[in-house]
Amino acid sequence: MSKEKRRVPKLRFPGFTEDWEQRKLESLFTKYEDKVSTPDSGYWRLGLRSHCKGTFYTYVDAGHELETTEMYRVKAGNFILNITFAWERALAVTDDEDQGKLVSHRFPQFKPNDDLVIDFFKHTLMDKRFKHHLELSSPGGAGRNKVLKVSDMLKYELLVPSIQEQNIISSFLNNVDYIITLHQRKLNNLKLKKKALLQKLFPKNGERYPELRFPGFTDAWEQRKLGEIFEYLQNNTLSRDSLNYKIPNIKNIHYGDILVKFNEILDGSNKDIPYINPDLDLSKFSKSLLRDGDVIFSDTAEDDTVGKAIELQNVNAPFILSGLHTIPCRPLIPFGKGYLGNFFNSNSYRLQIRPLVQGIKVSSISKSALKDTMIKYPKNLDEQEKIGSLFQSITKMITLHQRKLDHLQLQKKALLQQMFV
- 199-216 confidence digits (pLDDT tens): 999 999 889 999 999 999
pLDDT greater than 80 at residue 371: yes
| Cα separation, 125 vs 25, whole angstroms | 12
* Positive or negative: CA dihedral 414, 174, 52, 129: positive
What domains lie within the chain, and their CATH numbers?
21-160 (3.90.220.20), 162-203+379-421 (1.10.287.1120), 222-377 (3.90.220.20)
Cβ atoms of 341 and 310 closer than 8 Å: yes
- Render pLDDT for 93-140 as a digit per residue (tens, 0 to 9): 999 999 999 999 999 999 999 999 999 999 999 899 999 999 999 988
Q: Grade residue 144 by pLDDT with cuts at 50, 70 and 90.
A: low
Find the farthest-apart pair of alpha carbons in the chain and give their distance in angstroms, rounded. Answer: 89
- Give the least confident one: 4-8, 250-254, 300-304: 4-8
Between 350 and 3, whose confidence is greater? Answer: 350
What is the pLDDT at residue 62? Answer: 78
| Cα separation, 331 vs 20, whole angstroms | 67
Q: Grade residue 246 by pLDDT with cuts at 50, 70 and 90.
A: very high
Q: Grade residue 286 by pLDDT with cuts at 50, 70 and 90.
A: confident
CA distances from 325 to 87, 154, 238, 263, 368 (A): 36, 49, 9, 18, 15
Cβ atoms of 318 and 365 closer than 8 Å: no
- The arrangement of strands across the sheet holding 243-244 comes to 243-244, 275-276, 251-253, 320-322
| Cα separation, 173 vs 115, whole angstroms | 19
pTM: 0.82
State which H helix or E strand residue 231 sits in.
strand 230-232
What is the pLDDT at residue 6? Answer: 81
Cβ atoms of 124 and 158 closer than 8 Å: yes
Q: Grade residue 1 by pLDDT with cuts at 50, 70 and 90.
A: very low
Determine phi and psi for 166, rounding to 5 degrees: -55, -45
> For residue 409, which of 187, 176, 189 has the smallest C-alpha distance?
176
- Render pLDDT for 22-49 as a digit per residue (tens, 0 to 9): 999 999 999 999 999 988 888 999 999 9
- What is the residue-averaged pLDDT of the chain? 94
- Give the least confident one: 11-25, 59-73, 398-412: 59-73
- Render pLDDT for 298-317 as a digit per residue (tens, 0 to 9): 999 999 899 999 999 999 86
Q: Where are the alpha helices (DSSP H) in 285-366?
A: 339-343, 347-353
Share of the chain above pLDDT 70, in %: 97
Region 279-289: mean pLDDT is 90
State which H helix or E strand residue 161 sits in.
none
CA distances from 49 to 80, 86, 301, 346 (A): 12, 10, 24, 30
Q: Give SS3 for 255.
A: helix
